[in-house]
A and B are shown apart, each in its own frame.
Chain A
Amino acid sequence: MNTPLADSQEKMAHALLNHSNEGLGEIFAHDEAELQARIAVYRNNVFFSLSNAISDLYPVINQLVGEEFFLALAKRYIRENPPASAAMVFFGAEFPEFVSQDKACLSLPYLADVARFELAKQHCYHAQDAKPLSLQIMHELGAEKLMASVLKLHPSLRLVDSKTASRSIWQAHQIEKPNFSEIDVATAEQSILVRPEFDLLICRADAALLLLITEIEKGAILAEAIDMTLEKYPGFDLASAMAMGFSNGFFTDIHSPQE
């Protein structure tokens, strides 16, 4: 049984999210027309602030579908996935899955992938800071020790494995007038996002590099992770993969497996 206060909060929360003013007349001292106008101020605040948060997090999706469509999409999302926390940095994480299921978005199969890319960017941006290892460590250790070691990934590192050209579409929208006539949206793209210091780096990767990083993330010894990768992708270019990893700050620590 609700207390009177809990009862009024339950009714108001329902009224705000569901656009119905049911039960509010007994709580507030206004006639119907005035109540409507006054509750609208709070309802606008709720939807305006939350759809702004979604739009800040997914600016390229907003550009791709246009303001009006985006706002309607954001409102549907908010109603189905209202935030559970006051920390807006965690809000909107289910949006890519929501987009992939939303009927109005079905004709744009790359939309959910671009949303996943933007979410990975957000997570990368807000992740724990850590000092990356430099390429120098490869020289210091030598190949034999390096291969027998376990590498620790940078806490900001995120893998984006898309069936569509999510990175190219995203990049095309970083300028004023995007032109993606040259992009084949149906090309699968793999990306690695990492923030070694304050600037976020976007690395073009391939399925082999993604597999290697995934194995490293699981804690595999480097030699085993490489074997696994070469087995599936015999053409894998290890030297350039390691150079890319160390020069972009993918790793923060290296140790022998027993440590």
Chain B
Amino acid sequence: MTIELPNSAGIGFKPKHLADLLLQKSEVSWLEVHPENYMGDGGLPHQDLLAVSEAFPLSMHGVGMSLGSADGVNDEHLERLAKLVDAYQPARVSEHLAWSHWNQVFLNDLLPMPYTRESLNLVAENLGRVQDRLKRTILVENPSLYLSFRGDEFSEAEFLNELCKTTGCGLLFDVNNLYVSANNTGFDAQQYLKELNIKNIAEVHLAGHSIESLPNESKLLIDDHGSPVRQEVWSLYQSLVFNLGEMPPTLIEWDTDTPDFEQMDLEAGLANQYAANALSNKILKESAA
């Protein structure tokens, strides 16, 4: 069995951080990569990935499987992923609750789907194929939403609960996405966390977002992974850790204008610290009760 992700902070791997990661002691204890960046046959990308996979537990976080595509998952893509999983034996493999391709066209974005029975059956079927091929369960990430569908039959939390129950998959829970989607589509994030079966959460993502205005002057939050994690998201993260009773493996995502390693290390340190604070708060509350 491959090693598990540690219950501490990790960051998305960027080649420019390679030397810092390998040479210095830091708050970063695991790394995540997008397998799509390693689908070439050889060269420097594979050399780098080999070096970090020998030094850190690794999570492979796909952005191209398109679990929500009505025309199914792409066999060629699944084979490429299987080859990478086989070669690097990551501790975790994850994907998104989203779709990206239609009729042989890949749109390179994580597009939303309605929470209906039809969607649930389809994602369960696509996910089943992926898990069967990889011979392991994977984690599915909640999306950041900019649109609301007419005719949803489930809340997102109910949909994820059902999906985990049907397929045995776990959750990669993105707290920033929760915050962004709650604002953009008008639901209550705390209520969502009450509805969600948080026992399914095996990994957490944190990232920054930017703020735009809609024509009616209400805010639209953009999940752009281009800034530090915001205070409101840290608060939600702390209440999640409090309820979980342990720190989940927690990833800092910063993909646009990624800063130098020092700042990534600071953000990772903050995650470790906020989680520790939430847990000590829980112990104090429980002993006071």
A86 touches which one: B66, B113, B216 (CB < 8 A)? Answer: B66
In the complex with contacts A28-B150, A30-B147, A87-B107 CB distance below 8 A? no
Give me the interface of B with A, judged by CB distance under 8 Å: 36-37, 39-47, 62-66, 69-71, 74, 76-77, 80, 99-109, 111, 113-114, 116, 118-119, 122, 146-150, 184, 212, 214-216, 220, 222
**30 contacts across the A-B interface (CB closer than 8 A):** A5-B70, A5-B113, A9-B71, A10-B102, A16-B109, A17-B107, A26-B150, A27-B149, A28-B147, A28-B150, A37-B215, A38-B146, A38-B184, A42-B147, A45-B108, A46-B109, A82-B106, A83-B105, A85-B64, A85-B106, A86-B106, A88-B36, A89-B39, A125-B43, A126-B40, A126-B41, A129-B41, A129-B46, A156-B43, A198-B47
Considering only CB atoms, which chain B residue lies closest to A42 in the complex? B109
Q: Is the pair B70, A86 in contact by a Cβ cutoff of 8 Å?
A: no
Contacts of B146 in A (CB 8 A): 38-39, 41-42
Say yes or no for A84: interface residue by CB 8 A criterion.
yes
Q: Is the pair B41, A155 in contact by a Cβ cutoff of 8 Å?
A: yes
B43 touches which one: A10, A30, A82, A198 (CB < 8 A)? Answer: A198
Q: Is the pair B64, A38 in contact by a Cβ cutoff of 8 Å?
A: no
B36 touches which one: A8, A41, A87, A127 (CB < 8 A)? Answer: A87
Whole-angstrom CA separation of A35 from B70 in the bound complex: 23
Q: Is the pair A28, B101 in contact by a Cβ cutoff of 8 Å?
A: no
Considering only CB atoms, which chain A residue lies closest to B222 in the complex? A41
Whole-angstrom CA separation of A5 from B111 in the bound complex: 13
**Interface membership of chain A positions 25-61, coded 1 if the CB is closer than 8 angstroms to chain B and 0 otherwise:** 0111110011111110110011001100100000000
Main secondary structure of the interface of A (DSSP, over half): helix
Whole-angstrom CA separation of A4 from B111 in the bound complex: 16
Q: Is the pair B105, A82 in contact by a Cβ cutoff of 8 Å?
A: yes
Say yes or no for A116: interface residue by CB 8 A criterion.
no
Contacts of A198 in B (CB 8 A): 43-44, 47
> 3 closest Cβ contacts across the A-B interface?
A86-B64, A126-B40, A87-B39
In the complex with contacts A5-B116, A46-B109, A89-B40 CB distance below 8 A? yes
Q: Is the pair B214, A83 in contact by a Cβ cutoff of 8 Å?
A: no
Whole-angstrom CA separation of A53 from B36 in the bound complex: 13
- Most interface-central of A13, A84, A155 (chain B CB within 10 A): A13
Contacts of A82 in B (CB 8 A): 105-107
In the complex with contacts A42-B111, A85-B77, A13-B103 CB distance below 8 A? yes
Contacts of A37 in B (CB 8 A): 214-215, 220
Say yes or no for A174: interface residue by CB 8 A criterion.
no
Distance (Å) between the CB of A43 and the closest chain B CB? Answer: 9
Say yes or no for A6: interface residue by CB 8 A criterion.
yes
Contacts of A155 in B (CB 8 A): 41-42
Say yes or no for A128: interface residue by CB 8 A criterion.
yes
- Most interface-central of B69, B102, B108, B122 (chain A CB within 10 A): B108
Contacts of B150 in A (CB 8 A): 26-29
Say yes or no for A73: interface residue by CB 8 A criterion.
no
Q: Is the pair A5, B222 in contact by a Cβ cutoff of 8 Å?
A: no
Q: Is the pair B114, A5 in contact by a Cβ cutoff of 8 Å?
A: yes
In the complex with contacts A42-B109, A50-B108, A86-B106, A126-B43 CB distance below 8 A? yes
Other contacts beyond A13-B103, A16-B107, A28-B148: 18, CB < 8 A: A4-B118, A5-B119, A9-B69, A13-B107, A26-B150, A27-B114, A27-B150, A28-B147, A41-B220, A41-B222, A50-B108, A53-B108, A83-B105, A83-B108, A85-B106, A86-B101, A90-B39, A129-B46
B122 touches which one: A5, A12, A34, A156 (CB < 8 A)? Answer: A5
Chain A-chain B contacts (Cβ-Cβ < 8 Å), number: 145
Whole-angstrom CA separation of A87 from B64 in the bound complex: 8
Say yes or no for A195: interface residue by CB 8 A criterion.
yes
Considering only CB atoms, which chain A residue lies closest to B107 in the complex? A46
Contacts of A88 in B (CB 8 A): 36-37, 108
Whole-angstrom CA separation of A3 from B119 in the bound complex: 11
Whole-angstrom CA separation of A28 from B76 in the bound complex: 32
Distance (Å) between the CB of B152 and the closest chain A CB? Answer: 9
Distance (Å) between the CB of B141 and the closest chain A CB? Answer: 16
Q: Is the pair A34, B111 in contact by a Cβ cutoff of 8 Å?
A: no
Q: Is the pair A86, B148 in contact by a Cβ cutoff of 8 Å?
A: no
- Most interface-central of B37, B77, B146 (chain A CB within 10 A): B146
Whole-angstrom CA separation of A216 from B108 in the bound complex: 39
Whole-angstrom CA separation of A90 from B46 in the bound complex: 16
Distance (Å) between the CB of A119 and the closest chain B CB? Answer: 13
Interface positions, chain A 53-95, Cβ under 8 Å from B, are 53, 82-90
Q: Is the pair A29, B149 in contact by a Cβ cutoff of 8 Å?
A: yes
Whole-angstrom CA separation of A22 from B71 in the bound complex: 21
Distance (Å) between the CB of A90 and the closest chain B CB? Answer: 8
Contacts of A8 in B (CB 8 A): 114
Considering only CB atoms, which chain A residue lies closest to B102 in the complex? A13
Whole-angstrom CA separation of A89 from B107 in the bound complex: 15
Q: Is the pair B216, A34 in contact by a Cβ cutoff of 8 Å?
A: yes
A9 touches which one: B37, B70, B104, B109 (CB < 8 A)? Answer: B70
Contacts of B39 in A (CB 8 A): 87, 89-90
A126 touches which one: B42, B63, B109 (CB < 8 A)? Answer: B42
